[in-house]
């Protein structure tokens, strides 16, 4: 059993007031809060070892390089990648997906197919649309049912030898649905297609095992898992990363440069042009240590309790509809109340110190599917409590009375 009060004390922002009220932070799907140990690690890097990496012979440069590479290995173990050079530092999920989509421009031919799902965040739709425009490939969409679950039989019938890459999120940001990615990856591989998993919403809740999943690429952001903004990881299987061309050209990613020809560095540096977010990359390792210290089993237990409690309490409100009632869900509740715009509820409860997200959650196709402009999304983390949920439910009831 987690001692939630002890855990909450790790997060200084959780004792702040917003609009004169104690902060209740239920926008964890957008970004998580940071424990003091992460905040301190960022300052410590700049206070003690700040230097550019992979370049200098001087001591600080070596200390910074070692810390950065140790963090890479930590992330490798965290996701169970076979090699550290399969773990690329990025600025976040968006960067990772664009890197792969850009690389596939050299692989796809007109008429090839890219399969995305109807549950995707815009950052796992738009780069593939851009790729299709560039190459003449065709974008196909795996549909969802009324519970927001992917329809696997439709997925199977979309797969063919024309499918070159399937790209799907592990957990949907807008609805919290957990997709059966392992099964989907096996089916894609059976027709020879590669698979990218957008793990942005999964990594705060679970420890992905990329070898067990057998995914070809797995992209995620550090800021949603207690780490700093502007950090992320793209895992890619060695063979794929060797096959794809570099994404950006510049320093760090070369072996030799002449005006006639440039040769590229080995993995992972081929994909890491320029000075990276050194502090961020190191501190992402601290965040992963922190989460593993709590334990993902404990995190899931706590978050599941919060999900069940919130679902039950919110459904007490007349006219409230929850979107995404699939069986496998992370701790996200996306809902609306009959006749009330989500923005109005969000604004009123913000005045009471409660942070939820309202709108389309960068997933407009899902909103179009349900014929709504957006939802109110409460996304919970292990540091949230049932008492906070009760306060939100009462605040929503009050807001509803005001707005009806």
Per-residue x/- marks for ligand PMP, 152-191, CB under 6 A?
A: -----------------x---x------------------
Using the structure block, give the residue that is written with the tokens 């992370």: 330
Nearer to ligand PMP (CB atom), residue 49 or residue 87: 87
Q: How far is CA 343 from the centre of its chain?
A: 24
Start-end of H helices in 26-163: 36-44, 59-79, 93-104, 126-135, 152-158
Taking CB under 6 A as the binding criterion, the range among 91-99, 141-149, 277-285, 306-314 that sits at the site for ligand PMP is 91-99
Distances (CA, A) of 325 to 73, 119, 138, 147, 377: 38, 14, 31, 5, 14
- List Cα–Cα distances, 139 to 47, 135, 402, in angstroms: 48, 11, 45
Active site residue 215: no
The distance between the two most distant Cα atoms of the chain, rounded to a whole number of Å, is: 72
Nearer to ligand PMP, 65 or 382 (CB): 382
Q: Please, which of residues 19-78 interact with ligand PMP by CB under 6 A?
A: none
Check residue 3 and give left, alpha or beta (phi > 0: left; psi -120 to 50: alpha): beta
Question: Which token pair is 351?
Answer: 């005045």
Nearer to ligand PMP, 113 or 198 (CB): 198
Q: Are strands 194-198 and 163-169 parallel, antiparallel or unpaired?
A: parallel
Give the nearest distance from C-beta 377 to ligand PMP in angstroms: 11
Q: Which is nearer to ligand PMP, 54 or 121 (CB)?
A: 121
Among 65, 76, 102, 123, binds ligand PMP (CB under 6 A): 123
Q: Which candidate in 132, 215, 226, 362 is catalytic? A: 362
Considering only CA atoms, give the Rg of the chain.
22
List the one residue out of 293, 353, 363, 289 whose CA is nearest residue 332. 363
Candidate list 93, 286, 331, 358; residue touching ligand PMP; CB under 6 A:
93
Q: Is residue 127 close enough to count as binding ligand PMP by CB under 6 A?
A: no
Binding-residue total with ligand PMP (CB under 6 A):
13
Write down the least CB distance from residue 277 to ligand PMP, Å.
13
Q: Which residue has the tokens 């070369």?
A: 254
Give me the least distance between CB of 198 and ligand PMP, in Å please.
5
| Residue 370 Cα distances to 92, 286, 345, 376, 404, angstroms | 29, 40, 19, 14, 22
Alpha carbon distance 349, 29 (integer Å):
18
Cα end-to-end distance, the chain, whole Å: 41
Give yes or no for a contact between 31 and 223, defined as CB atoms under 8 angstroms apart: yes
Which of 62, 91 has the CB closer to ligand PMP? 91
Q: Which is nearer to ligand PMP, 187 or 223 (CB)?
A: 223
- Decide whether 65 or 201 has the Cβ nearer to ligand PMP: 201
**94 counts as binding ligand PMP under rule CB under 6 A:** yes
- Told to check if 286 binds ligand PMP by CB under 6 A, we report no
Site string for ligand PMP, 287-326 (x = CB under 6 A): ----------------------------------------
Point out which span in 2-10, 16-24, 116-124, 133-141 binds ligand PMP (CB under 6 A).
116-124
Instruction: Identify residues 193-232 at the interface with ligand PMP (CB under 6 A).
Output: 198, 200-201, 221
Catalytic positions are 362
Residues that bind ligand PMP (CB under 6 A): 92-94, 121, 123-124, 169, 173, 198, 200-201, 221, 362
């Amino acid at each position: 059993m987690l001692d939630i009060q002890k855990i909450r004390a790790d997060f200084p922002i959780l004792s702040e007031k917003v609009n004169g009220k104690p902060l209740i932070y239920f926008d964890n799907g957008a970004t998580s809060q940071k424990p003091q140990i992460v905040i301190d690690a960022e300052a410590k890097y700049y206070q003690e070892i700040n230097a550019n990496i992979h370049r200098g012979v001087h001591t600080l440069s070596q200390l910074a390089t070692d810390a950065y590479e140790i963090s890479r290995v930590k992330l490798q173990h965290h996701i169970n990648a076979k090699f550290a050079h399969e773990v690329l530092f990025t600025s976040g999920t968006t960067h990772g997906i664009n890197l792969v989509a850009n690389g596939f421009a050299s692989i796809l031919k007109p008429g090839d197919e890219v399969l995305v799902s109807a549950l995707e965040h815009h950052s796992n739709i738009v780069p593939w649309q851009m790729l299709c425009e560039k190459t003449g490939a065709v974008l196909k969409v795996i549909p969802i049912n009324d519970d927001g679950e992917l329809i696997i039989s439709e997925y199977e019938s979309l797969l063919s030898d024309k499918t070159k890459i399937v790209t799907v999120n592990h957990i949907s940001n807008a609805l919290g649905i957990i997709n059966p990615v392992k099964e989907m990856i096996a089916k894609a591989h059976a027709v020879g297609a590669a698979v990218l998993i957008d793990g942005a919403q999964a990594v705060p809740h679970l420890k992905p095992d990329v070898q067990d999943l057998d995914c070809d690429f797995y992209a995620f952001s550090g800021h949603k898992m207690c780490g700093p903004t502007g950090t992320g990881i793209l895992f890619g299987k060695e063979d794929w990363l060797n096959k794809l061309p570099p994404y950006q050209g510049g320093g760090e990613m070369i072996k030799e440069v002449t005006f006639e020809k440039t040769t590229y560095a080995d993995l992972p540096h081929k994909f890491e042009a320029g000075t990276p977010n050194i502090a961020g990359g190191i501190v992402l390792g601290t965040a992963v240590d922190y989460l593993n210290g709590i334990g993902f089993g404990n995190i899931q237990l706590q978050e599941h309790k919060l999900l069940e409690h919130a679902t039950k309490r919110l459904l007490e409100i007349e006219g409230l509809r929850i979107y995404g009632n699939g069986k496998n869900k992370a701790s996200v509740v996306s809902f609306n109340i009959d006749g009330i715009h989500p923005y109005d509820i969000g604004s009123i409860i913000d005045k009471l110190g409660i942070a939820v997200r309202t709108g389309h959650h960068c997933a407009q196709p899902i909103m179009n599917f349900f014929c709504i402009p957006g939802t109110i999304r409460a996304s919970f983390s292990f540091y949230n409590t049932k008492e906070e949920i009760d306060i939100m439910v009462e605040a929503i009831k009050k807001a509803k009375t005001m707005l009806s």
